[in-house]
Amino acid sequence: MLPAVFADDDLAQRFVAGLDDVFAPLLNVLDCLDTYFDPALTPVDFARWLGTWVGAETDGGEPEHRLRAAVAAAARLHRVRGTRRGLSEAVRLAFGVAPDITESGGANWSARPLGPFPGTPRPRLHVAVRLPHPTPADTHRLDTLVAAARPAHMPYTVEVTAAERTPQR
């Protein structure tokens, strides 16, 4: 694609060929740029960086499929942050199991004023997770995750226990 005057020049041809080698990786990335922002298609190292960019709750040690799921769900989880559903989904994405969540709140309505309040007067939140092979690091990870995803005013406790093993048939 050089002008005709340079098409037969050996030096110009070699110079342009060198530029092709330099710019080819850059052009390849630009051609595929949209796939870098898709958590299902991006390389794993870029998915980890993308997770920090969107605020995904990851610790760097999760398997690849859980990392990609957490990055893909990050924006949706920010919309429900501080709710029971948001906390449950964040724990499920981090550990791969559904948590048992016990809280003190409640909602009710009454046709007459001064009705009884639902729930208990003291706020509390307890999150329990059953894992096949729990470690102390799992308890720390759950504590960190609940501290970030709970309602700000809510005191909490966490518990990680071993899942009951059922005989395989």
3-state secondary structure of 33: helix
Per-residue pLDDT of 8-62, as tens digits, reads: 888 888 888 888 888 888 888 889 888 888 999 999 999 999 999 988 888 888 8
Can you read off the two tokens belonging to residue 99?
């948590």
Q: What is the CA radius of gyration of the chain?
A: 26
Confidence of residue 169 (pLDDT cuts 50, 70, 90): low
pLDDT at residue number 85: 92
pLDDT of 105 above 80:
no
What are the percentages of helix, strand and coil residues in the chain, rounded to 5?
A: 50, 10, 40
pLDDT at residue number 168: 65
Question: Smallest Cα–Cα separation from 100: which of 67, 154, 56, 142?
Answer: 142
Q: Is 57 exposed, middle or buried (0-12, 13-18, 19+ CB in 10 A)?
A: buried
CB 117 within 8 A of CB 147: no
pLDDT at residue number 166: 62
Q: How far apart are CA 9 and CA 19, in angstroms?
A: 16
pLDDT of 1 above 80:
no
pLDDT at residue number 143: 94
